[in-house]
Amino acid sequence: FRYKDSLAEDLRRADLVISHAGAGSCLETLENGKALVVVINEKLMNNHQLELAKRLHRGGHVFYCSCSTLVETLQSMDLSTLKPFPSGQPEKFALFLDQVFGFQ
């Protein structure tokens, strides 16, 4: 895709999303309950994309690969093994901040 203001409609219609490992892309996809294959950029220094992909994979939420192993990953993956990503609880974080800053 070229840049889009929103991928919401594309995500809504998708059965499978193949994405880079940017945190926003990963979380938006998982929060929409979509199966996700994360393709990491191996050329990044201090590769945070790899760290995120590995963590989400350990949790059973995504498959990850590199460009060179994408076809193999697509052929061998079993989407039924993926676990739903737990929804966030922003109200707990807001409560924590209120307590830290003395608003409670």
Which CATH number is 57's domain given? 3.40.50.2000
Whether 12 and 38 have beta carbons less than 8 Å apart is answered as: no
In sequence order, what are the residues at sequence separation of 6 or more whose Cβ sits closer than 8 angstroms to the Cβ of residue 53? 21, 26, 38, 40, 62, 64
Tokens 């460009």 appear where? 67
Domain with 68 in it:
7-84
List, for residues 52-94, the tens digit of each pLDDT value: 999 999 999 999 999 999 999 999 999 999 999 988 777 887 8
Rounded Cα distance between 28 and 48, Å, is 17
In a domain, 89, yes or no: no
Position 6 pLDDT exceeds 90: no
Q: How many domains are contained in the chain?
A: 1
In a domain, 104, yes or no: no
- pLDDT at position 53, please? 93
- pLDDT at position 22, please? 87
- pLDDT at position 104, please? 65
Share of the chain above pLDDT 70, in %: 95
